């Protein structure tokens, strides 16, 4: 995948728009929820006022949070929200006004911005480095206060409408009190929550809107691209946890997310889903925000192929779950993108062709034009798709397992795959080991690990 040539534009925009300011935030509470508005400033030329609202229901109680913690949490959401607006011109200086951040905090944020924007830099063809891409300043004397609160040992589970969060919901609801958490609900998310047995009034629901000015800048040719949404989810989930009084935020990120998208580089579409981010985020929260919330990924010990194995035993979720970004607005599998192909492949060792056709509507392994995506997924191309997909090894293992299920003619893509370098490289990998072995890098308690082991 060739990167676009926006390097010249990058330096021209930085010169024309030399600074970006996180001005302030305002919030209010009324019968329609907790509403937050952020104010960002691009070099005194453009102003942005994005909004986030936490809707009222029985799971949300603003009285759970002391004001210092509430403002700390709201402020930090703004710190990650602003990256979506900063990227339009990538100013070399960011000024943070609402609160003072010490040097170690500023370095933490600089590291997150750089690694989280790796895909953005790569696909725009931007040449920069971790030191020079931005300088963050914080001149305000008003300091943040770390505040602990009383939380119950229950679980807040972010739900995205895909197979991963469905598994976390399904397993944890059998073991403890669970509250679903949603940003910008859509049909697949609602279906997943309903299938798990929850009503909409039992979820913590957040509405997030992009300021129209940013969309206008995109049309005018300013820089655009991927930002670390899962990092935004992490900070928003902290406030959701505090509002609902739930101690544990149980993500559904797997160990497969640790593999870089661009081989031999730090560029990873899923950076803010990695164990590295999870570890750094937990440390930052505990030191600067609160020690009362436990953020971790319940599926971290698993690979995508293990998750597919577990999910294949939960057929009630098959009609509603969706993982396709291209088809998300229409609540469909587009069946033409690498994410659809990956999901089909990773499920194919565990479901028969008829079941897969009920989910996707067709056999994606018979679509010849998907061969390029197949080559990306199997390592025959140097760059994986910029999607949330599994490791090269497990994709190859899944394909080889699927091939063994066919007694007659193979689908088109499997015919081609059988002649590829990837096939000969991975054909002798012990699939059973990959499916059964749990990873050691995780933050599950011993009890939580035992719960997960029951299903693998």
- 363-401: pLDDT as tens digits: 999 999 999 999 999 999 999 999 999 999 999 999 999
Is residue 249 within 8 A of residue 172, CB to CB? The reply is: no
CA dist., res. 291 & res. 139, Å (int)? 26
**Two structure tokens written together for 401:** 């397992």
CA dist., res. 292 & res. 149, Å (int)? 6
Q: 1 pLDDT band (50/70/90 cuts)?
A: very low
Is residue 221 within 8 A of residue 191, CB to CB? The reply is: no
Residue in 310, 269, 280, 253 with CA at minimum distance from that of residue 439: 253
Span 102-130, average pLDDT: 97
- Residue 391 Cα to chain centre, angstroms: 16
Residue in 382, 385, 369, 419 with CA at minimum distance from that of residue 399: 419
Is residue 222 within 8 A of residue 12, CB to CB? The reply is: no
Span 24-34, average pLDDT: 95
Is residue 240 within 8 A of residue 206, CB to CB? The reply is: yes
Q: What is the pTM assigned to this prediction?
A: 0.96
Partners of 276 in beta bridges: none
pLDDT of residue 436: 86
CA 198 to each of CA 34, 190, 372: distance values in angstroms, whole numbers, following the listed order:
22, 9, 40
Span 274-285, average pLDDT: 98
**Two structure tokens written together for 362:** 């067709």
Q: 137 pLDDT band (50/70/90 cuts)?
A: very high
CA dist., res. 137 & res. 106, Å (int)? 8
Residue in 179, 209, 222, 184 with CA at minimum distance from that of residue 197: 179
Q: 328 pLDDT band (50/70/90 cuts)?
A: confident
pLDDT of residue 64: 80
CA dist., res. 335 & res. 406, Å (int)? 22
Span 61-90, average pLDDT: 96
Sign of the dihedral defined by the CA atoms of residues 55, 59, 62, 66, in that order: negative
| DSSP H helical ranges for 118-253 | 118-123, 163-172, 187-195, 212-219, 229-244
How big is the chain by its Cα radius of gyration, in Å? Answer: 22
Indicate whether 60 pLDDT > 90: no
Residue 131 makes CB contacts below 8 A (sequence gap 6+) with none
Span 213-240, average pLDDT: 97
Indicate whether 230 pLDDT > 70: yes
Indicate whether 441 pLDDT > 80: yes
Eight-state DSSP code of residue 387: S
Interstrand relation of 19-30 and 33-42 (parallel, antiparallel or unpaired): antiparallel
CA dist., res. 109 & res. 269, Å (int)? 18
pLDDT of residue 3: 59
pLDDT of residue 191: 96
Indicate whether 290 pLDDT > 70: yes
Of the ranges 80-84, 291-295, 362-366, 452-456, which one carries the lowest mean pLDDT score?
Answer: 452-456
Span 85-95, average pLDDT: 98
**Two structure tokens written together for 265:** 């580089």
Q: 141 pLDDT band (50/70/90 cuts)?
A: confident
Indicate whether 165 pLDDT > 70: yes
φ and ψ at residue 125, rounded to 5 degrees:
65, 30
pLDDT of residue 75: 98
Residue 102: how many CB atoms within 10 A of its CB? 12
Higher pLDDT, 60 or 317: 317
């Amino acid at each position: 995948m060739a990167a676009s040539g926006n390097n010249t534009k990058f330096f021209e925009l930085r010169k024309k728009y030399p600074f970006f300011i996180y001005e302030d935030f305002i919030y209010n509470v009324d019968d329609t929820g907790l509403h937050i508005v952020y104010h960002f400033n691009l070099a005194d030329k453009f102003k942005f006022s994005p909004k986030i609202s936490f809707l009222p229901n029985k799971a949300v109680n603003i009285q759970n949070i002391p004001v210092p913690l509430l403002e700390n949490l709201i402020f930090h959401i703004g710190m990650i929200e602003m990256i979506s607006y900063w990227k339009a011109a990538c100013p070399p200086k960011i000024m943070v006004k609402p609160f003072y951040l010490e040097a170690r905090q500023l370095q933490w944020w600089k590291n997150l911005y750089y690694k989280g924007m790796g895909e953005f830099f790569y696909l725009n063809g931007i040449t920069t480095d971790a030191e020079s891409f931005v300088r963050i300043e914080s001149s305000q004397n008003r300091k943040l206060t770390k505040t602990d609160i009383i939380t119950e040992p229950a679980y807040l589970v972010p739900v995205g409408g895909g197979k991963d969060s469905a598994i976390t919901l399904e397993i944890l609801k059998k073991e403890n009190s669970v509250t679903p958490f949603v940003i910008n609900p859509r049909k697949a998310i609602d279906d997943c929550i309903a299938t798990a047995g929850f009503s909409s009034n039992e979820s913590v629901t957040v509405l997030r809107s992009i300021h129209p000015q940013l969309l206008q800048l995109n049309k005018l040719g300013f820089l655009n691209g991927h930002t670390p949404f899962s990092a935004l989810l992490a900070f928003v989930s902290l406030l959701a946890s505090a509002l609902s009084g739930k101690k544990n935020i149980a993500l559904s990120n797997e160990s497969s997310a640790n593999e870089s998208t661009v081989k031999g580089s730090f560029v990873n579409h899923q950076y803010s889903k990695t164990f590295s981010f999870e570890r750094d985020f937990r440390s930052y929260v505990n030191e600067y925000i609160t020690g009362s919330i436990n953020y971790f990924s319940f599926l971290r010990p698993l690979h995508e192929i293990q998750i597919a194995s577990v999910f294949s035993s939960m057929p009630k979720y098959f009609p509603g779950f969706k993982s396709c970004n291209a088809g998300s607005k229409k609540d469909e599998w587009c069946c033409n993108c690498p994410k659809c192909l990956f999901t089909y492949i990773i499920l194919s060792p565990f479901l028969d062709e008829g079941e897969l056709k009920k989910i996707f509507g067709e056999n994606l392994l018979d679509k010849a034009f998907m061969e390029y995506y197949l080559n990306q997924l199997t390592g025959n191309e140097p760059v994986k798709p910029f999607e949330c997909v599994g490791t090269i090894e497990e994709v190859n293992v899944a394909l080889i397992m699927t091939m063994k299920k066919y007694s007659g003619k193979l689908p088109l893509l499997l015919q081609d795959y059988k002649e590829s370098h990837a096939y000969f490289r991975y054909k002798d990998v012990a699939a059973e080991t990959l499916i059964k072995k749990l990873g050691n890098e995780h933050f599950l308690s011993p009890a939580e690990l035992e719960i997960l082991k029951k299903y693998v």
